[in-house]
Amino acid sequence: TRIGSPYVITGMERARRKGKRRVCGWEPNGGFLTGSDIEGNDRVLTALPTRDAVLPILAVLFSAVEQQVPLAELFRRLPLRFSRAALLKKIPRPISQKIVNRYTPADSRIVEARFQEDEIRCYDAALSDIEVSSAEGIQIPRIRKELQGFFQPADEFGEIVKLNWIDGIRVYFSNGDVTHFRPSGNADELRIYAVADNQPRADAIVRMGVAEPNGILRQLEKSISLSDPVAAVASSAGILVLQGTVQHYEWGGCQFIPSLLGIENRERKPYAELWIGVHPKAPSLVISGLDRILLRDLISRAPARILGEGVASRFKGQLPYLFKVLDARQMLSIQAHPDKRQAEEGFARENAAGVSFDDPSRNFKDDNHKPEAHVALTDLWMLHGFRPPEEIAEILEFVPEFRAILPDFRARLEQADGHRQARSEVLRNLYAKAMRMPQDQVDGILRPLLERLARTELMDKDNPDFWALRASREFSLATGHLDRGIFSIYLLNLVRLKPGEGTYQPAGLLHAYLEGTNIEIMANSDNVLRGGLTPKHVDVGELLRILRFEGGKPEKLASQNVSATERVYRTSAHEFELSSISLNAHQSFQSALVHSADTMIILEGSVRLNAQDRSLELARGSVLLAPSGLDYRIEATSERAALYKASIPV
């Protein structure tokens, strides 16, 4: 674990949660920690998850007694390894952290890399073998090569055979030497540790580390002080190669996104979404050589250069959209998003009430609205807005179990006599009753329905019965109760989209993705009000306040060919515009004369991008951003290439 007893304790707790029977830990500054009861010789050593320097002493003494040898002989039998530690003072912690960041992979899953000839194997915190993206496959050898430059054969260092990033950077060499450097946790100091086969060698490594003025630590400091990578990249205003962030939500698919990123997902871990943007929950990185720069830092350094003056002014120097690839293996929660005014009011209200951002009952994570659009990449099923009220009336009458929900629904509609507000109120009353109904009544209505459906063979995904039965299996509540979100499967439009088709979700529209893969774009927000099919918090009162109760047939997203290679999906949103780019062999796409920040992801084939006398060869899964006004051209280098582009209307 990281150095420090709090990290050791956390590591022990993690091991205990994984079912490890005996859990213990060691803190280098002195202390043995037991995270579980340990039995032996008919005695029980009870858990003591705090540092206890007495236990190691007792263990050594007992071992000497059991083996009937003096302490000196006991230690002579151990492998001979020697260590030394030292530090440099007055190195600001931000500088130390920059050193660590420069030589650490961008993928936070990677805590260790091992090198053998031309092979690199990467491991996570549990030391499980993991596949990495093509970007990391290039980056890690560069990190190794640059670090090797600080540890020369002339100083008797071997080749680097392993790197570990659990706490700072720990470097293992082929001759058995180990060096480890890390920032101090509470002072402006950079620490170095050495382990070797003899004490003089460990001492020598540390002396080389802290030597003035050109020791190893000072060389590392100079390596990040020579240039400001953010300023260097910001000033170039060329094409930016990005690395998005994967969200591993449980409902995610196991194939599409790993395949897109060149990752072999042997463990079948869910890859739900790939986020591309500046949202603080999952920010994207700009890859520039060994440097990894937060995209939001780059934009804040040069907003007019990246976004254009008008867009930077309009959106306060922020990238206004969040671009995603979404792959739904299981059904997502039914949800809606607030409009701008509702988001600002709700965010301020919860802040004033002191609701923590980690509180699961918090509704508003920011003060922005979240209109969103998407285009299907595979066949995709979703729920999209309330059905026409007359259609809902037919369902309430046709499904026998639903007749008791609001028996006079049709009569109330007829009394509304076509008045829009009155019809909206009738629909609101129906939905409010379904959402506020006591749980035993919910179970009493849904259980007979689901038992009846379970006796039939449901294969038709265009039938709401299919999804109601699936929802009952995917969202069975821990209490044995049934999720009232199943009502919404019948009240909302069930939509099937073919590849290339999409929808737009404005504020207040209830919707849910049920199955399939799509490309999605939205305003840069994470504000979600849920309406069921989820174990997460459902605030019925707040949901009813923001919803639009306007039943009707859903409209598919209109698209328009603007050139031989580009099709644009336009919406009323001011923050984003989504388009698809399709290229045949040797066909090219030319950027618009005027554009803001264009973000593109290659979903099929390979391309060559030309801009500012620079040419980039890019494969499937690559993500790039063209700053405002940059003239660029994209050519297909495969038989066919397909990209999606996120932009800002200008």
Catalytic positions are 530
Q: What is the CA 631 to chain-centroid distance, rounded?
A: 31
- DSSP code per residue over 593-616: SS-S-EEEEEEES-EEEEETTEEE
Alpha helices, H only, 370-484: 389-398, 409-416, 420-436, 439-454, 464-474
Give the largest CA-CA distance in the chain: 99
Distance (Å, whole) CA 351 – CA 341: 15
Rounded to the nearest 10°, the torsion over CA 505, 507, 508, 512 is: 30
Q: Which residues pair with 252 in a beta bridge?
A: 328
Distance (Å, whole) CA 36 – CA 46: 7
Tokens of 387: 């059905």
Tokens of 520: 């999605």
Q: Is 183 helix (H, G, I), strand (E, B) or coil?
A: strand
Distance (Å, whole) CA 304 – CA 312: 6
Q: What single letter denotes the amino acid at residue 178?
A: V
Tokens of 480: 């044995």
The answer to whether the beta carbons of residues 598 and 567 sit under 8 Å apart is no
Distance (Å, whole) CA 379 – CA 95: 50
CB atoms within 10 A of CB 348: 12
Closest CA to 41 of 71, 61, 16, 66: 66
Strands (DSSP E) contained in 145-232 are 160-164, 169-173, 178-183, 189-196
Burial 204-229 (b: 16+ CB within 10 A, else e): bbbebbbeeeebbbbebbebbeeeeb
Distance (Å, whole) CA 3 – CA 377: 46
User: C-alpha distances in angstroms, 116 versus 113, 121, 139, 161, 173?
Assistant: 10, 9, 17, 7, 12
Those residues with Cβ within 8 angstroms of residue 503's Cβ, 6 or more apart along the chain or in another chain: 373, 374, 382, 384, 495, 497, 511, 554, 555, 556, 557
